[in-house]
Amino acid sequence: MLGRLASGVSTGLQALAARLPSQCAVCHAWPAQRVCEACAARFAQPRARCTRCALPLPAGQACCGACLRHPPPLDACVAAVDYGYPWAGILADFKFRGDPGWAGTLVTLLRSTPWAEPLLEAADTVLPVPLSRQRLCERGFNQSLLLARHLAPRKTDANLLLRLHDTPAQHGLPRARRLRNLRGAFAVEPLRAARVQGRSVVLVDDVMTTGATLHAAAAALRQAGARQVSALVVARTDAPG
């Protein structure tokens, strides 16, 4: 009871803070939201992306060669922006420097991305990529869960997809090593597997690099019987590491 009350108060304070004027983190204009409209328009222009992995593509192409040759376990993947200036720094503040107030701004960015809203509307369940207990203790919150709850509060389930063990830091590792690290890292809660069987699921994460984490999570959902698995991410790196 007290936990739910504290969670509600925290959510309310975050929503209030998101509406208050502040200085734009990019151009430092005042008063503005955390990212002013001019900077959002400048640095978040929609671009053609692969529908399966969200890598940038030339206009007119729907799917990259890698996904055509080796279809990933994701039916669709939507990314709002490239992982570069200014979003890389903003995401670092959000995730590593303990600033959950960025969630509202990043969700607005996601919602304005083509195909994001239809993906959410078609989903039966929205699942954040879970953190290990160790990472959750280090950060104090799961950034993917904050994004998911802002995107689809009624569809978000924080306890359906489980992270079974911690993995070494993935940053800077090649894709093959990431895949080895993540083997068996995710599973669906056995007593609630019916929530996945035959359903359409959307995974939410902040950054997609090689896709190893999302693919491992999607594979666990497929194994549990999910009919369709897609992903929404704030930022996508230019090429697999």
Tens of each residue's pLDDT in the chain, 241 residues? 434 444 454 455 555 555 566 789 999 998 888 999 999 999 999 999 999 999 999 988 999 999 999 999 999 999 999 999 999 999 999 999 889 999 999 999 999 999 999 999 999 999 999 998 888 888 899 999 999 999 999 999 999 999 987 665 555 555 556 656 667 789 999 999 999 999 999 999 999 998 999 999 999 999 999 999 999 999 999 865 4
37 and 50 belong to one structural domain: no
Distance (Å, rounded) from C-alpha 199 to C-alpha 224?
A: 10
Same domain, 186 and 136: yes
Residue 241: inside a domain, yes or no? Answer: no
Question: Domain tally for the chain?
Answer: 2
In whole angstroms, what is the distance from residue 208 CA to residue 216 CA? 12
Predicted structure pTM score: 0.86
Give one word for 84, left, alpha or beta, with left for phi > 0 and alpha for psi -120 to 50. beta
pLDDT of residue 138: 85
Across the chain, the runs of DSSP E, i.e. the strands, are: 76-82, 125-128, 161-163, 186-188, 200-208, 228-236
Confidence at residue 74, expressed as pLDDT on a 0 to 100 scale: 97
Same domain? For 126 and 27 the reply is no
Query: Does residue 58 fall inside a structural domain?
Result: yes
pLDDT at 181: 65
Q: Is 201 domain-assigned?
A: yes
CA dihedral sign, ordered 54, 58, 59, 62? negative
Residue 22 lies in a domain: yes
Could you list the residue range(s) of the whole structural domain that residue 35 is in? 1-43
Tokens in use for 191? 């007593």
- What does the block give as tokens for 60? 């007119």
Kindly give, in sequence order, each residue whose CB lies less than 8 Å from that of residue 37, ignoring residues fewer than 6 positions away: none
Please tell me whether residues 57 and 135 are part of one structural domain: yes
Length of the chain equals 241
CATH number at 111 reads 3.40.50
